[in-house]
């Protein structure tokens, strides 16, 4: 049994799937959010009083940033290459951030529809430094579905 009622997830175990295939375990995910416009309108009630109503508007596309160790993950590297070279016919993919419990069971999914990489930053490389190299990748998506 993974989580008991009242247990919270820990933040150390998560990964990235592209088109249903786990391609990378990540160091960090930030900026993963969903937003939509709010439509506000006013009308007069049957009693003649002004009433303000709010309703959901258009969903907005989003971005998130992931940090990964500089590895030899060919699937992720190919996705980045396709994206930054403008090969959008193959670069737009469905991707998911998967959060797992302490027994590696998936418990939460952030599904990003038509996602592609819009930016990549490599960590600083310094002679004599004893640190792991990382890449920070910005993923742009058209829709976020949370499961």
Helix/strand/coil for 41: strand
- pLDDT per position as a tens digit, 85-101: 999 999 999 999 999 88
Pairing relationship of beta strands 106-122 and 35-44 according to DSSP bridges: unpaired
**Domains annotated on the chain, with CATH:** 14-146 (2.30.110)
Task: Tell me the pLDDT tens digit for each residue of 13-41.
Answer: 889 999 988 888 888 999 998 899 999 99
| Residues β-bridged to residue 64 | 139
Q: What is the mean pLDDT of residues 71-87?
A: 89
SS3 143: strand
d(CA 80, CA 118): 8
């Amino acid at each position: 049994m993974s989580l008991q009622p009242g247990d919270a997830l820990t933040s150390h175990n998560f990964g990235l799937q592209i088109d249903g295939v786990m391609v990378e375990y990540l160091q960090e995910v930030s900026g993963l959010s969903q937003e939509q416009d709010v439509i506000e309108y006013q009308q007069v009630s049957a009693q003649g009083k002004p009433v303000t109503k709010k309703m959901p508007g258009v969903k907005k596309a989003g971005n998130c940033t992931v940090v990964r160790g500089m590895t030899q993950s060919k699937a992720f590297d190919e996705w980045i290459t396709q994206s930054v070279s403008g090969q959008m016919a193959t670069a737009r993919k469905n991707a998911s951030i998967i959060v797992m419990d302490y027994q590696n069971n998936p418990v939460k999914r952030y599904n990003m529809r038509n996602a592609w990489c819009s930016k990549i930053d490599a960590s600083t490389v310094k002679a004599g430094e004893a640190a792991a190299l990382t890449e920070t990748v910005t993923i742009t998506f058209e829709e976020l579905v949370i499961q």
